[in-house]
Copies of this chain bind each other. A is one copy, B any other.
Amino acid sequence: MNEGAVKSAGARRPGRPRTASESDARERLLDEAERLFAEHGFYGVTVRDVTRAAGVDVALAHYHFGAKRGLFDAVFLRRAEILNADRLLALEAARADAAPDEPTVETVIQAFVGPVLARWASGDPGWKSYCALVAQVNNTPSWGGKTMTRYFDPVVQRFINALRQALPDLAEADLFWSYHFLSGALTLTLAETGRIDLLSAGVARSGDHDAVMARMPRFFAAGFHALARKD
């Protein structure tokens, strides 16, 4: 008999029939890769780390995803699509609520940060990891900008347009820099490094979704408006 896979991490039910496409080993590889990449970065994780955590042979990762980078891209793509759909829905809802007016700056920001913060605070550790991963990529100089652009900026452009309509007096450069500030604050929040806990001696807690949601839209709406004022 097969005596490999000594410490199988899987909850694999042996009797259940399964079609080829719904392999749960593949899903487990994605989950473990997500967790490990988020914690240690792309180069800080080996393919063997991932396959060991998933309880499968190292060759299986290459069978499903090709090279190591393919595995990373698959991880990054999986939830990006969900997040983009969430955001577009939230933007449309904000537009519907405000009709026949355009939604306010604060409402647009809420539609932008709300979906990701909700997933982040949902209790699903997969989403927590994914958010931390995005934060790291967004601050990676060599290939982070291009990666973020590719996966997220088509939707981001829609939000930029909505912000532009809400702030007709804001210069174009101001608009993009303001979004840039928002993006940096959001990703640092999602990184959840624990620094704010230490700095504030516990007054503010890294994972406090409600605290962020209560402050971020108002804080950044004020910033956008401040740059729009010409004085």
Contact = CB atoms under 8 A, between A and B. Distances in A.
Interface of A: 38-44, 132, 135-136, 138-142, 144-146, 148-149, 153, 156-157, 160, 172-174, 176-189, 191-200, 203-204, 206, 211-212, 215-216, 218-227
B140 A203 contact: no
Contact of A40 (B142, B204, B218): B142
Given A149-B198, A176-B203, A203-B176, A226 B216 contact: no
User: What is the oligomeric copy number?
Assistant: 2
B176 A139 contact: no
B145 A141 contact: no
Given A178-B219, A184-B186, 8 more contacts: A132-B141, A136-B139, A138-B193, A141-B192, A174-B215, A178-B215, A181-B215, A184-B189
* Interface of A, helix, strand, loop or mixed by DSSP: helix
A35 B43 CA distance: 17
A147 to B, nearest CB: 9
A181 B216 contact: yes
A138 B227 contact: no
B138 A212 contact: no
Contacts of A142: 39-40
A181 B41 CA distance: 23
B185 A172 contact: no
Given A185-B180, A204-B173, A195 B144 contact: yes
Contacts of A183: 188
B173 A211 contact: yes
B153 A179 contact: no
A197 B222 CA distance: 24
Given A211-B173, A223-B219, A223-B223, A145 B188 contact: no
